[in-house]
Amino acid sequence: MSISFLGHLSGGKTTRRFWLAQLGALSLGTAACSRGTSQERGQETGSGSGSDLQLSFACVDNYDRTRPLLDGTVKPEGIVLQSRAEGPGALFRQVAQQTDFDISEMSTSTFMILTSRGDDRYVGIPVYPSRNFRHGYVFINRNSGISRPEDLAGKRVGMVEYQTTAALWQRIFLQDDFGIKANQIEWSEGGLNTPDEPERFHVDMPSDIHLSRIGPGQTLSQMLEEGKLDALIGPAEPECFRRASHIERLFPDYRSVEKDYYKRSGFFPIMHLVVIRREIYQEHPWVAQSLFDAFQSALATQFERIRNTSVLACALPWLMSDLEEIEEVFGDEHWPYGIAKNKALLERMTQASFEQGLSARKLEVEELFVEEMWGT
């Protein structure tokens, strides 16, 4: 009996309870025995009314929207999460190079690269812990002759790594709004504020993409300040921006530019998604729906907390005004999970990944996610 057929019989939600009813406790117990006794590799342990799957979970360390999962306020049905939180650079490098975690937050761009090249260690669910507009992260050396985006053509532009999702989106809006394609720029990658940033995952680029790594001991921030780079794109501010007067943002009023971008495109850029080790999913398909539901619940829990502005949940003086502006721009839902409400955005990402020389082929959006999630 196929997974999709079972999902149809259960109303489209293949929950753990449904799978237990179909497969039986003996089946699950046998599967657990076959996988060994490691707690980190999904050992099933008795819990009174049934058995909970213990799975390792890694995510970026500073989100409100995943905090309820980390502190146990929200618990996925049938799963005990053994959580670990850390910075995105080290985490995504580890996930790309190894399979240390059963569930992990992952760079969407890197996951598309892996999927397009036949690396099937992971399956995705349409949960997006990180989204961010990226116009405010384009910096220029004022002495480089750049005064508008079109001036970037032929210039030397630095970035932490060509494959990061932030850089993918920055190249998307440079092409879509200003006609600057990836092959019109001389790209340099390396550490932003500290030297010798390790490569996340090596990708052989097409010959028309001009890409090199900066030298040992150099940083992108230093090179931008010294004029060895004309501009810099990336996920964060270079250290030189706060002290060097000749380092500026290409889009000084980036908030207005980003609001206009959203109103025209409908895109609030997705940065990261959540992946599950394929062997975990194959043995326990109900895990995908259980996790999706839990992430949705965690998101709703935090939004409810933030929207209670009688006592500010965030150390932001004008939080109430910010929430009102967000509702004015986005409507009732500004951070949707699932596929349907993000389909056009995800389609543009898969197309851009191929156009920019990252993906080996143009992916269909559905290839990124397990079949149970296609209707979300």
Q: How far apart are CA 175 and CA 182, in angstroms?
A: 8
- The number of beta carbons lying within 10 Å of the beta carbon of residue 238 is 23
The proportion of the chain whose per-residue pLDDT surpasses 70, expressed as a percent, equals 87
Distances (CA, A) of 158 to 181, 202, 221, 230, 353: 15, 17, 9, 8, 19
pLDDT at 20 over 90: no
Single-letter code of the amino acid located at 293: D
Single-letter code of the amino acid located at 176: D
**Does residue 265 contact residue 122 with C-beta atoms inside 8 Å?**
no
* Per-residue pLDDT reduced to its tens digit, 106-146: 999 999 999 999 999 999 999 999 999 999 999 999 999 99
**Does residue 93 contact residue 201 with C-beta atoms inside 8 Å?**
yes
Q: What pLDDT is recorded for position 197?
A: 80
Reported confidence tier of residue 48, pLDDT bands at 50, 70, 90? very low
3-state class (DSSP) for residue 187: strand
Q: How far apart are CA 273 and CA 285, in angstroms?
A: 18
The proportion of the chain whose per-residue pLDDT surpasses 90, expressed as a percent, equals 84
Phi–psi pair at 54, nearest 5 degrees: -95, 115
Name residue, tokens 């390790």.
198
**Residue-range domains of the chain with CATH:** 3-131+270-373 (3.40.190.10), 135-265 (3.40.190.10)
How many CA atoms within 13 Å lie on the side-chain side of 171? Answer: 30
- The number of beta carbons lying within 10 Å of the beta carbon of residue 85 is 16
Q: How far apart are CA 131 and CA 84, in angstroms?
A: 21
Provide the terminal-to-terminal Cα distance of the chain, rounded to the nearest Å.
22
pLDDT at 38 over 90: no
Give me the helix-helix angle, 16-34 and 286-307, nearest 10°: 120
Q: What pLDDT is recorded for position 183?
A: 97
* Per-residue pLDDT reduced to its tens digit, 272-300: 999 999 999 999 999 999 999 999 999 99
Q: How far apart are CA 91 and CA 336, in angstroms?
A: 24
* Per-residue pLDDT reduced to its tens digit, 338-355: 999 999 999 999 999 999
**Does residue 140 contact residue 250 with C-beta atoms inside 8 Å?**
yes
Of 206, 211, 210, 203, nearest to 112 (Cα)? 203
Reported confidence tier of residue 201, pLDDT bands at 50, 70, 90? confident
pLDDT at 32 over 70: no
pLDDT at 28 over 60: no
Burial of 45 (0-12, 13-18, 19+ CB in 10 A): exposed
Q: What pLDDT is recorded for position 327?
A: 97
* Per-residue pLDDT reduced to its tens digit, 140-166: 999 999 999 999 999 999 999 999 999
